[in-house]
Amino acid sequence: MGAPHLRRRTGSYRAAALVAVLLLTALGAAFGQVSVPTFGTRGDVDSVVVDRFMAAFRSAVGAATGLEVRNGDLITPGIASSLEPELATLIAELDSARYAVSGEIARLAAPAVDPYAINLIVVDADLGRATDLISAALDPAAPEQSAAALAAMVATFTAAKVELPRGDSGLFVSSEPGDAQVFVDGVSLGRTSQLDVAMLMPGRYQLEVRKEGFLPDVRMIELRPNDTTLIHVILTAISGGSIQISSRPAARVELDGAAAGTTPVTLSALPGMHTVTLKRDGFADETVDVLVRNYRVSRLQLQLQPAAPLVVFWDESREMLVFIDGVFQPGGSAEGIAPGLRTFELRRGSETVKYLRAVPTAGVFRLDLATGELVEYALQ
């Protein structure tokens, strides 16, 4: 008699557990979901760093937001690291979530303290809202700190009021330049180029106007009953930061694929990640990603590596032509030069000077255009 009684109790516990699971599932669906796919990487980022941060970040997002965190297992790395609201919204749709976080883990070329940076955006697919770019340094030895700080920012976004009380107070916002995003108490009203008068309840609100490349304008406003408040916002362009670049030897610089001078050089750039490429004949191209912050100077000091076991290079000059064994050498280096005694001919206008120099079998040598000497170039 006792055994059947025990079996019935076990069965009732199972039924109760099943009901509890169903209730928890329903509650999770009611509270919403956030998709957090594994971030992409830029530069040489150890996979262990990625795994540790993502585990800590997902846990922190779940704790801070109270949302069900989905791992975005079907999201490709290219989409996961896009940092574009349209693609982040696609992440939410593919993962059947209301919110989505897309981001990247970037290795800094010349970090002041922490070797990595996290860049991410958060979107609300239901309301078409998105954050600006959010960045934070990452200490690989303590990823939980960065994860918690970023999760708090995600929670601020997801907890924002999504509906504003309607009333008899009008609000019309315009901006210079136009097409800026308008938020009232964190709720998106749309863009200034498309806005009508918003009718809200009287009271105090926080108004925020944002546009990429400009400082956000945040202010408190007071809406009065049966009145329309007109606000025109003039946005201030972000001065951004700068990238100070030096190299051995001097090299041509490209910033995000565009020519930007020759090292040493200091470049202005908007906040965010930028790609710097250094090029010099006879040396391998050097490409690094650098995070630029407002009003900060990011410094790069790079040593170019020779592209061959034997490299002879010189400072390019429009006035000086270089010939080796009678063959003109365009650019600033000699490629495929054979070791042994070689004739170096330097021509400046009608003046020609010839030098007989011994070229070693290997090494990096700088040709002094003033003396014709081959000077061994020490790599650091």
Over residues 72-76, the mean pLDDT reads 87
Residue 5 predicted with pLDDT over 50: no
Do residues 372 and 353 lie in contact, with contact meaning Cβ atoms separated by under 8 Å?
yes
Residue 322 predicted with pLDDT over 90: yes
Most confident range (mean pLDDT) of 13-22, 84-93, 126-135 is 84-93
What's the token pair of residue 104?
């990247």
3-state secondary structure of 234: strand
What's the token pair of residue 253?
């610089």
Do residues 143 and 59 lie in contact, with contact meaning Cβ atoms separated by under 8 Å?
no
Q: How far is CA 364 from the centre of its chain?
A: 36
- pLDDT for 187 equals 79
Task: Select from 2.60.40.1120, 2.170.120.12, 2.160.20.10, 2.60.40.10 the CATH code of 241-303.
Answer: 2.60.40.1120
Residue 101 predicted with pLDDT over 90: yes
Residue 7 predicted with pLDDT over 80: no
Query: What's the N-to-C CA distance of the chain in angstroms?
Result: 86
Over residues 76-93, the mean pLDDT reads 89
Written as one letter, the residue type at 376 is: E
Regarding predicted confidence, which is higher, 331 or 351?
351
pLDDT band for position 23 (50/70/90)?
very low
Over residues 288-308, the mean pLDDT reads 86
What's the token pair of residue 235?
């946005």
d(CA 153, CA 119): 12
Do residues 231 and 207 lie in contact, with contact meaning Cβ atoms separated by under 8 Å?
yes
d(CA 351, CA 371): 14
Residue whose pair of structure tokens reads 């070229």 in the numeric block? 359
Structural domain boundaries in the chain:
15-158, 169-234, 241-303, 310-376
Closest CA to 95 of 130, 60, 70, 123: 70
What's the token pair of residue 360?
């070693």
- pLDDT for 19 equals 35
pLDDT in tens, 158-215: 887 667 889 999 999 999 999 898 888 877 788 898 888 999 999 999 898 988 777 7
Q: What dotted CATH number matches 169-234?
A: 2.60.40.1120
Residue 365 predicted with pLDDT over 60: yes
Over residues 55-71, the mean pLDDT reads 94
CA atoms within 13 A on the CB side of 296: 11
Number of helices followed by number of strands (H, E) in the chain = 5, 29
Over residues 57-85, the mean pLDDT reads 90
Over residues 130-146, the mean pLDDT reads 90
- pLDDT for 163 equals 74
d(CA 282, CA 42): 26
Average pLDDT, the chain: 84
d(CA 79, CA 125): 15
DSSP per-residue letters across 238-288: P--EEEEEEEES--EEEETTEEEEESSEEEEE-SEEEEEEEE-TTB--EEE
DSSP 8-class letter at 48? H
- The CATH architecture that domain 15-158 belongs to is 3-Layer(aba) Sandwich (3.40)
Q: Which residues contact 351 (CB under 8 A, 6 or more apart)?
A: none
- pLDDT for 161 equals 63
| CATH topology match: 15-158 vs 241-303 | no
Residue 156 predicted with pLDDT over 60: yes
Regarding predicted confidence, which is higher, 178 or 317?
178
